[in-house]
Amino acid sequence: MAASSFAGYAKALEAAQSSVQSYLALSQAERLPPGLVEAQAQLDECMAVLAGMESSAEQASQGNKKALRAKAARSKKEVSALEEELKRESVRLNRAELFPSPPSAPSNSGDPFDPFGAKLVDTMGSLNDTTSLLHSTQLLCSETEAVGSSVLTTMGAQREQLENANANVQETRGVTNQARVLLRRMGRRAVMNKLCLYFVIVVLIVANCLVIYYQYLKRD
């Protein structure tokens, strides 16, 4: 069961590889971006089929497992080589799109005052515009990075200030609690002092009354 499944995956891989190789066999002038997209899609299919081959090899019997693993490894190397070639081709096409090759200079018989051709001038203008745009993008990235660093520094300083403010609040709460306890003690002492004073006043009044009473008794 696993061997037949592996064979089906191998046929599908061979068909997908053939499509990619057909594209790579074309000349550079015939390798257009739509063909590259199709070749990359076929390469993705190769990757999926290769994963199925490896899974089938692991599920095979002990007698066939080693051979199927070796075949899957060889197919993986071939697919990796195709992937590298497609990457190089993608880079070439992107470079050709960004920096197109200048057209050949026309003969001077057509226009003696335009020896290099209007197309070459337009191409150079496009290159200059592209260079200016890239330079502006780099400047914008640098400014954005500087702003980000400044914001991070400001946030760090604000965080330190908040931590210090939190510490001050905690310290103030501690001092307030201590003052509250002290005020309660002072209030209790004031009440005790008032009670003692009232007691002394009462004692003095009683003593004075007794003294006056005994003086009147002695006169009588």
**pLDDT tens across 179-220, in order?**
999 999 999 999 999 999 999 999 999 999 988 888 887 666
Please compute the mean of the pLDDT values over residues 46-73 and round it to a whole number: 84
Which pLDDT value is given to residue 111?
A: 47
Tell me, rounded to whole angstroms, the distance of Cα 35 from its chain centroid: 35
User: Got the DSSP string for 168-220?
Assistant: HHHHHHHHHHHHHHHHHHHHHHHHHHHHHHHHHHHHHHHHHHHHHHHHHHHH-
Which pLDDT value is given to residue 184?
A: 92
Give residue 109's pLDDT band: very low, low, confident or very high (50, 70, 90).
very low
Higher pLDDT, 73 or 96: 73
Please compute the mean of the pLDDT values over residues 11-15 and round it to a whole number: 87
Per-residue model confidence as pLDDT tens digits over 120-168: 666 767 777 788 788 778 888 888 888 888 898 889 889 889 988 988 9
